[in-house]
Chains A and B, each alone.
Chain A
Amino acid sequence: MSRIPAVFDNLRQQHRKALIPFITAGDPEPAMMVPLMHELVKAGADIIELGVPFSDPMADGPTIQRSSERALKHHVGLRNVLAMVEEFRRDDAGTPVVLMGYANPVETMGYGTFSARARECGVDGVLIVDYPPEESAEWVKHLLARQIDPIFLLSPTTPQARIERVADMAQGYVYYVSLKGVTGALNLDLGDVAAKLTQLRSSISIPIGVGFGIRDRATARAVAGLADAVVIGSRIIEEIENSPKARILTNVYGLVKNLRTAIDEAGPKH
C-alpha cells in the first residue's frame, strides 16, 4: 500500500482536508528541489505533487509551461525526478509524493523499469495526464504490481459511465479538475464544483482532490469545504517565478502556510 490512504485517514479523524501543492521538478533549478519539498511539508503540505518536465505540456497553461521550460534548461528528465524523490525520502519517510506528467517520458523508460524504480525511490502515486483509462490497462497493472497508486483526472464533462470506469481503476485519490481549460485559468464556479462532487461521490469511494483555478485563501477555503483535498499548482509556480532566488524558499513557505490556515478554517463538513 502507498502512503496516501493513511494520510487521508488521519486527516479524516482530525476533520481536516488535505493540502496538495504542485511544483515542477527542477524549477527553478535542480539543486533547490529537495529543500523546496521539505519547505512545502513544513508549511503544511499533506501530499506533494511533483511535475515531471516535458517539452510539450499540452494540458498546461503558460505558467506551468514556463516552469517546465525552466526545468528543461537544466535537462531535468524523469530519471532526475526519481532521484530527487529518493533524496527527499532520506529525510522524510512519511509524506506521500505523487508524480504528475505526460506519457512520453514514461513510454521511453518503459512501464516495468519506471514502476520498479519509482517504488524504489519512494513514489506513492502517478498521474499521467494523457493516459486516459481507455489506454491505461497495462500501465495500471505495472503500477499496482509495485504498490503505486494510479491517479486519474475527472472533469466537468466526464459522463457517468466514465466516472464509474475511473472509480474501478483509480487508487489513492482522484483529481477533479474544477474547470474547463488548461492549468492556471482564472474562473472557478463553486456551485458547479459542489454539484459535480455530489455526483462523483455516489460512484467514487476514495478521496477526491480538486484543482485548477485555486489561487487564494478564499477559493482554497471554499474548495476545502467541498472536497477532500485542495490541489494548488500555478499559484505556487508564480511565486517561484516572481521571487528572487534567495527568497524562493521563504516566499513559497509563506504562501503555502497561508493557504494551509485558510483550508483549516473550512472546518468539518462531511
Chain B
Amino acid sequence: MKVYDFPDKQGHFGPYGGIFVAETLIAALEELRVQYERYRSDAAFQAEFAHELKHYVGRPSPIYHAKRWSAQLGGAQILLKREDLNHTGAHKINNAIGQALLAKRMGKSRVIAETGAGQHGVASATVAARYGMECVVYMGSVDVERQAANVYRMRLLGATVIPVESGSRTLKDALNEAMRDWVTNVENTFYIIGTVAGPHPYPMMVRDFQAIIGREAIGQMQEEYGRQPDMLIACVGGGSNAIGLFYPYLDSNVRMIGVEAAGRGIETGQHAATLTTGRPGVLHGNRTYLIQDEDGQIIETHSISAGLDYPGVGPEHAWLKDSKRAEYAGITDDQALEAFHALCHYEGIIPALESSHALAYAARLAPQLAREKLLLVNLSGRGDKDMATVAQASDITF
C-alpha cells in the first residue's frame, strides 16, 4: 500500500490546496513555511507542545462508550472521542496552542484570528492570554449576534473582537478581514487560522496540530477495545476536527465519513454542504470545493451551527473525496438538533451543534449495523455556547 504523503512541497493535495494569494502575502507565507518546516521536526518544540496539551488542555481526551444511547438506537456501538472535555471546550485549542508556540518562536507579539462559532476565537484569545500576546479576533456580525456568550468569553480573556460587516457577515467575511489585517501588519502579527483551509502551509500545519486526536484514538482503541473502530465519523465545516481524527488512520482500512451541514435541506439551497454540492474553485488562498454560483461568486451558506457555516472546505478533504478515501454526507439542522437532544437525554452530555451533525449521522447508521460494530464519533466540542440557538429552535426564550 502506498503511504499517504500529501501535501507536496508547494502544498498541493492532488489538484487542491496550493498558494493562491496576492503577492503582498507571499513573503509572510514563505517565512511561515520555513519556520514551520524547522519546528515541525524540532524535538524541543514538539516536547513543549506535548507538555502544553497534557497540562494545559488536559489531554489525552478519553474515548467514552455511549452505552445507553447505543442501546436505544439498537445497533452498532457509538464511541465518542471527547474533545468537548478539552480546556475551552473544543478541539480548536490543540491547533491554537501549536500556532501560538510557533508565533512565540517567530518573535510575533500580536496574534489575529477569524472565528465562526467563536470556538477558535476563544481558543486564540486563550492562548494569547496564556503566552502574553495581544489578540484581535475577527467575527462576522451575524455570528457575533448568535454567539454572544463566546464574544463575551473572548473579551474576558483580553481579546479585541471586531465584528465584520462586509459580505454575508459570517465566517468567510471574517477570514477576508483577518487576511487584510495580516497583510497590513505582517511584521509583528501571526495569523492563527482555525481550520485546515487557507494557503499552504496552513492546511498541513493545522492538520499536524490536530492529528493528536487520531493518534490518541489509535492507542486508546487498541488498549481498551483491542482493535480499531469500523468507522470514523466527524463533522466537516472547514474540516479540522475531521482531519485531526482521520489523518493518522489514512494508511489503514478504517472507513471515514465527514458530515457536512445540509442546513434546511440540500434541495432548499440553504445549506453548507460544500463537498456534496459544490465544485472546485479558488478561495481564501487554496483550490478546493466551493459553494458558488454560475459566475463563480461565492454563495451565502446556511447552517444552524455557525462553525459549519462556510462555503469552502479544507483542500485535503477535497482530495480525500476525489480519491474516495473518505466519504461525505449531509445532515440537516433538524436532524442535528434531534441528535443534540438525544445525547443530552441519554448520556448527560451537551454536544456542540457542529458535533451534533456527526452524532446524527451515527444515529442514522447505527441501527443498520450489527451490535459488534464500533463507530468512533469525534465529539469535537461542547454545546454550552449553543444554548441560545437551541432554545430558540424550541421556541424558548430565557
- The interface bits of chain B over 19-40 (1 if a CB of A lies within 8 angstroms of the residue's CB, else 0) are 1111110111000000000000
For A102, the chain B residues whose CB sits under 8 A away are 282
| Residues of the A chain whose Cβ atoms lie less than 8 Å from the Cβ of B287 | 107
Q: B298 near A59 (CB under 8 angstroms)?
A: no
Neighbouring B residues of A153 by C-beta, 8 Å:
22-24
Query: Is residue A199 within 8 Å, beta carbon to beta carbon, of the partner chain?
Result: no
Q: Do B22 and A162 touch across chains, with their CB atoms under 8 A apart?
A: no
For B165, give the chain A residue with the smallest CB separation. Answer: A62
Residues of B close to A59: CB separation below 8 A: 21-22, 24, 179-180, 183
* Cβ–Cβ contact B296 & A78, under 8 A: yes
Residues of A contacting B280 in the complex (Cβ-Cβ under 8 angstroms): 107
A65, A75, A132 — most chain B CB neighbours (10 Å): A132
- A105 and B183 contact, CB distance less than 8 A: no
The smallest beta-carbon distance between A200 and chain B, in angstroms, is: 12
Contact check: which of B19, B27, B283 meets A56 at CB < 8 Å?
Answer: B283
Q: Tell whether A154 pairs with B23 under 8 Å between CB atoms, given A55-B298, A56-B176, A59-B183.
A: yes
Taking CB atoms, residues of chain B closer than 8 Å to A77 are 294-297
Neighbour of A108 across the interface among B18, B167, B173, B296, CB < 8 A:
B296
What does the 1/0 interface line of B268-311 toward A look like (CB < 8 Å)? Answer: 00000000000011111101001010111110000000000000
Query: Which of B26, B176, B183, B298 contacts A132 (CB under 8 A)?
Result: B26
A58 at the interface (CB under 8 A from B): yes
Most buried by A among B24, B186, B281, B287: B24
Nearest CB in chain A: distance from B189 CB, A: 11
Q: Is A182 an interface residue (CB 8 A)?
A: yes
> In the complex, how many residues of chain B place their beta carbon closer than 8 angstroms to a beta carbon of chain A?
35
A104-B283, A107-B280, A135-B20 given as contacts; is B176 within 8 A of A58 (CB)? yes
* Contact B296 A107, beta carbon cutoff 8 Å: yes
Q: Tell whether A111 is near chain B: CB-to-CB under 8 Å.
A: no
Nearest A-chain residue to B28, judged by Cβ: A157
CA distance A157 to B183 in the complex (A): 11
Residues of chain B lying within 8 A (CB to CB) of residue A189: none
Is A113 on the interface with B (CB-CB < 8 A)?
no
Contact present for B296 and A155 (CB under 8 Å): no
A75 to B297, CA, bound (A): 10
The answer to whether B22 touches A104, judged by C-beta atoms less than 8 angstroms apart, is no
- Interface flag for A268 (CB, 8 Å): no
Docked Cα-Cα span, A154 to B167, in Å, equals 28
Q: Taking the complex as formed, is B166 at the interface, i.e. its CB lies under 8 A from any CB of chain A? A: yes
Instruction: A61 to B177: give the CA distance in the assembly, Å.
Output: 9
Give every chain B residue within 8 A of A181 (Cβ-Cβ): 24, 180, 183-184
The verdict on A144 contacting chain B, using a C-beta distance below 8 Å, is no
Q: Judge whether B295 and A79 touch: CB under 8 Å.
A: yes
The answer for the CA separation of A54 and B20 in the assembled complex, in Å, is 15
**Besides A55-B167, A58-B22, A177-B24, 10 other A-B contacts (C-beta < 8 A):** A56-B172, A58-B176, A58-B180, A62-B166, A104-B290, A105-B297, A107-B296, A132-B26, A155-B26, A182-B183
Q: A: which residues have CB within 8 A of B?
A: 53-59, 61-62, 65, 69, 72, 75, 77-79, 102-109, 129-132, 134-135, 152-155, 157-159, 162, 177, 180-182, 185
- Residues in chain B within 8 A of chain A (CB atoms): 10, 18-24, 26-28, 166-167, 172-173, 176, 179-180, 183-184, 186, 280-285, 287, 290, 292, 294-298
